[in-house]
Amino acid sequence: MTTLARRKAGPRALTAVTWVVAILFVFPLLWLILTAFKQEADAYTDPPKLFFSPTFDQIANVLKGGFLPYLSNSAFVTVLSTVLVLVLGIPAAYALSLAPVKKTSNALGFFLSTKMLPIVAAIIPLYIISQNTELLDTVWALVILYTSMNLPLAIWMMRSFFLEVPHEMIEAGRIDGANLPTLLRKIIMPVVAPGIAATALICVIFSWTEFFYAVNLTAARAGTVPVFLVGFITSEGLYWAQLSAAALLASLPVMIVGWIAQNHLVRGLSMGAVK
C-alpha cells in the first residue's frame, strides 16, 4: 500500500462507519416510511417484510378519515403563534440587547426561568380558565399558550443575534434622528433577518409537535395533528400501516421545513449558544 493510499483508507473507513451509524440510527424512521406504503397484512409479518407491493391506500384512508381538519388547526395555530412570538419578541429582544436598561439581566433571567416551570403545574387552572372563558377546545387557547411557550426561548435566541449588530451603526442612526421603527427596519433587520428566520423555525417545530396542551385542552373541534394520532391508541387494536401513514403525514410539513432550513437551524442554535 502506498502512503497516499493508506492516508485515504482511514478517512474512507470513517466515512463508511458514519454512514452505517446514521442509517442504523434513522432506521426506525425509514421503517415507518416503508410501513406507510404497506397493506395492513404486510405490516404484521414475522419476519418483517422488506419487499412488498407498495400502495397509497393507507395515505388515502388517513386523508379520508378526517385528518384534514386537524392539519388545518395545526397550521393555523403554528403560523399565528409564531407570528405573535415575533411581534412580541423582536422589540423585547431589541430592548434586551441594543437598548439595555437597568434590570435588563433580571428580565432576561425571568424569561428564561419561565421555561423551567413545569407545564403540568399550570394545566388545571388553564383548563378551568379556558372552560370559563369558552376557549376550551378552540384554536385560540393553543395560540395563546404556544406563544407564551416559545416567547422566552425566542427572545433569548434573537437577543444573541441583535448583539451581532455593530453598535456604531445604531448610534449613527440614532444621531441622525431615526426613531425606533426606522432603526429596526433600516439598520437592524437586514443584519438579524437570518437569525430571526432560525428562531421562527424553532417556534414552528415546537408548536407543530406540542402534545401536552393540545391533548388536554382540545378535542374534536380544535385538535391538532398530535391529537389525531392519539385516536390510534384508543381504537380497537392498532392499524400499523394506517398509523404509519398518519404519522408520516403529520410529520411531513415540519420535516420538509426543517430539511430546507437546516443550515439556519445549526447557525441559529450555535449563535444562541455563543453569545
Partner 1 sequence: MSTLSVDTPQSQTRAKVVEKKGLSTAAKRRLPLLPALVFVIAVTQLPFLLTVFYSFQSWNLVRPGSRHFVGLDNYIDVFSDTTFLVALLNTVLLTVVCVFVALLLGLGLAILLDRKFFGRGVVRTLLITPFLILPAAGALLWKTTMFDPTYGLLHFVFGTDVDWLSEFPLASVMAQIVWQWTPFMMLLILAGLQSQAKDVLEAANVDGAGRWRTFVSITLPHLSRFLQLATLLGAIYIVNSFDAIFLMTQGGPGTASTNLPYYIYQRAFEGFDVGQSSAMGVIVVILTMIVATFALRLMFRTFSVNGGIK
What is the nearest approach in angstroms of partner 1 to the Cβ of residue 242?
11
Site for partner 1 in 54-83 (CB under 8 A): none
Nearer to partner 1 among residue 60 and residue 252 (C-beta):
252
Please tell me whether residue 140 binds partner 1 under the rule CB under 8 A: no
Site for partner 1 in 85-104 (CB under 8 A): 88-89, 91-92, 94-97, 99-101, 104
Cα–Cα separations (whole angstroms), residue 97 to 59, 154, 167: 48, 13, 10
Please tell me whether residue 220 binds partner 1 under the rule CB under 8 A: no
Options 53-61, 64-72, 75-83, 230-238: segment touching partner 1 (CB under 8 A) = 230-238
> Is residue 150 within 8 Å of residue 85, measured between CB atoms?
yes
Q: Which three cell numbers stand for residue 172?
A: 449613527
Among 129, 172, 189, 193, binds partner 1 (CB under 8 A): 129
Please tell me whether residue 133 binds partner 1 under the rule CB under 8 A: no
Query: Interface mask (CB under 8 A) for partner 1, residues 168-207, using x and -?
Result: ------xx----x------------------------x--
Count residues near partner 1 (CB under 8 A): 107
Site for partner 1 in 148-167 (CB under 8 A): 148, 151-152, 155, 163, 167
Please tell me whether residue 45 binds partner 1 under the rule CB under 8 A: yes
Site for partner 1 in 255-274 (CB under 8 A): 255, 258-259, 262, 265-267, 269-270, 272-274
Q: How far apart (Å, rounded) are the C-alpha atoms in residues 240 and 246?
A: 10
Q: How far apart (Å, rounded) are the C-alpha atoms in residues 107 and 95?
A: 10
**What is the per-residue DSSP string for 234-255?**
HSSS--HHHHHHHHHHHHHHHH
**58: closest CA among 262, 275, 238?**
238
Please tell me whether residue 28 binds partner 1 under the rule CB under 8 A: yes
Nearer to partner 1 among residue 15 and residue 182 (C-beta):
15
Chain centre to alpha carbon of residue 115: 16
Q: At what angle do helices 139-162 and 123-132 cross, to 10 degrees?
A: 130
What is the nearest approach in angstroms of partner 1 to the Cβ of residue 19?
6
Q: Which three cell numbers stand for residue 133?
A: 372563558
Residue 148, H or E segment: helix 139-162
| Residues 181, 183, 187: CA angle, nearest 5 degrees | 135
Among 39, 72, 105, 182, binds partner 1 (CB under 8 A): 105
SS3 assignment for 46-90: CCCCCCCCCCCHHHHHHHHHHHHHHHHHHHHHHHHHHHHHHHHHH
Q: How far apart (Å, rounded) are the C-alpha atoms in residues 15 and 9?
A: 10
What is the nearest approach in angstroms of partner 1 to the Cβ of residue 186?
17
Options 53-61, 113-121, 132-140, 187-195: segment touching partner 1 (CB under 8 A) = 113-121
